[in-house]
Amino acid sequence: MNFDEIIGHDNVKMQINKSINSGMFSHAHLVVGENGIGKSILTRAIAIKLLGKEQDKEYADLIEYRVQKNKQSIGIKEVTEKIIEEINKKPYEGDKKVIIVYQADKMTVDAQNAFLKTIEEPPKGVFIILLCENLELILDTIKSRCQIHKLQRLSLEEMKLYLNKKYPRLMPEELKTIVAFSDGIPGRAESFIEDEDFKQIRNSTLEILLNIKEKKCLDFLKYSDFLLQYKNDWKEVLTWFLSYIRDTMIYKETGREDLVINVDKVNSIKDLASMFSFNKLNDIIDIINETRRRLDHNVNTSLVFENMLVKFQED
């Protein structure tokens, strides 16, 4: 995909395009943005342009690194024995090579320190592009040697344009729902449409909220099986709980359907608004935030989820 086909991020694209065309594109860059915002698409477009290619496909001088399966970070051994070693090899096809490191914020401190000198002075014709979601996890010494590009969420009109282009058969009501839900992040819109696990989480979290008062405690605790099934996606699970509670509170206060993000679930939102007082809704928010804190500190997942469900049903 070339720059002209990428929707949004106009200022960043213009700056990068100008620097490449003038031969002033620096050797090290950091592309920063939330998961799903388009970092990978933009970075590959940069790489294709730098290599003087037309098509987005695999090239010998376009090297990509990601966190390996079953690992949580990029360690010093991988940086020194794979990434730096590859950087020091001459380009195969031309006089330029592009190295892309995804999830660079998952490099350990030691790995970043080992990478520092290479980022500061890579071989001639080598461009290093680091992608990250959390800029705070990147060492200041790395940041100071990179040109930083921060990607912003797409506007409402840009999201509509993106969705109409990628999913032209969406009905108007579907488009409205997905645009509201995506909150300017294309990847969230794609998950909403394509990811079955995502849909399961979305539907089941709503079911749990609707059954807080309906099911007996033992029956309600059976939902812990669902929560454990998606324990690796616990942040997504808790985000969905909060999304529905947010909609419920807004509808309860205003009575306006047009302010509800989960517009396709508006009847269920109305049910929740009639079921719960504002005090109970605030209690649920507190329970979810406490659950998040405990999971962040690696407390036993099963116990945390069961405790959350029990507290949901407390008066």
State which of 28-37, 53-62, 171-180 shows the largest mean pLDDT: 28-37
Q: With bands split at pLDDT 50, 70 and 90, how would you rate the model's confidence at 99?
A: very high
Find the DSSP H helices in the chain.
Answer: 10-21, 39-50, 76-78, 84-87, 109-120, 140-143, 156-166, 172-182, 186-194, 196-210, 217-221, 223-229, 234-254, 266-275, 278-296, 301-313
In this structure, the strands spanning 97-101 and 126-132 are parallel
Give the pLDDT mean for 181-200: 88
- Residue 288's CB: how many other CB atoms inside 10 A? 19
Q: For all residues of the chain together, what is the average pLDDT?
A: 91
Q: Is the pLDDT of residue 7 over 80?
A: yes
Question: What is the CATH code of the structural domain delimited by 195-313?
Answer: 1.20.272
Give the pLDDT mean for 60-76: 89
Q: What is the pLDDT of residues 252-311, one digit of tens each?
A: 999 998 888 888 899 999 999 999 999 999 999 999 999 999 998 888 888 999 999 999
Q: Is the pLDDT of residue 3 over 80?
A: no
For the chain, residues classed under CATH 3.40.50.300 are 3-150
Which pLDDT score is estimated for 314?
86
Q: Is the pLDDT of residue 218 over 90?
A: no
Give the pLDDT mean for 233-237: 89
Q: Answer yes or no: are the C-beta atoms of 193 and 182 closer than 8 Å.
A: no
Q: Is the pLDDT of residue 111 over 90?
A: yes
Q: What percent of the chain has pLDDT over 70?
A: 100
Q: Is the pLDDT of residue 76 over 80?
A: yes
Give the pLDDT mean for 8-20: 92
- Tell which wins on pLDDT, 213 or 280: 280
Q: With bands split at pLDDT 50, 70 and 90, how would you rate the model's confidence at 211?
A: very high
Which pLDDT score is estimated for 69?
81
Give the pLDDT mean for 153-167: 93
For the chain, residues classed under CATH 1.20.272 are 195-313
| pTM reported for the whole predicted model | 0.79
State which of 133-137, 174-178, 193-197 shows the largest mean pLDDT: 133-137
The Cα 245–Cα 253 span in angstroms is: 12
Q: Answer yes or no: are the C-beta atoms of 44 and 64 closer than 8 Å.
A: no
The Cα 261–Cα 244 span in angstroms is: 9
Give the pLDDT mean for 229-238: 89
Q: Is the pLDDT of residue 138 over 90?
A: yes
The Cα 188–Cα 194 span in angstroms is: 10
Q: With bands split at pLDDT 50, 70 and 90, how would you rate the model's confidence at 143?
A: very high
The Cα 107–Cα 1 span in angstroms is: 28
Q: Per CATH, is 3-150 categorized as 3.40.50.300?
A: yes
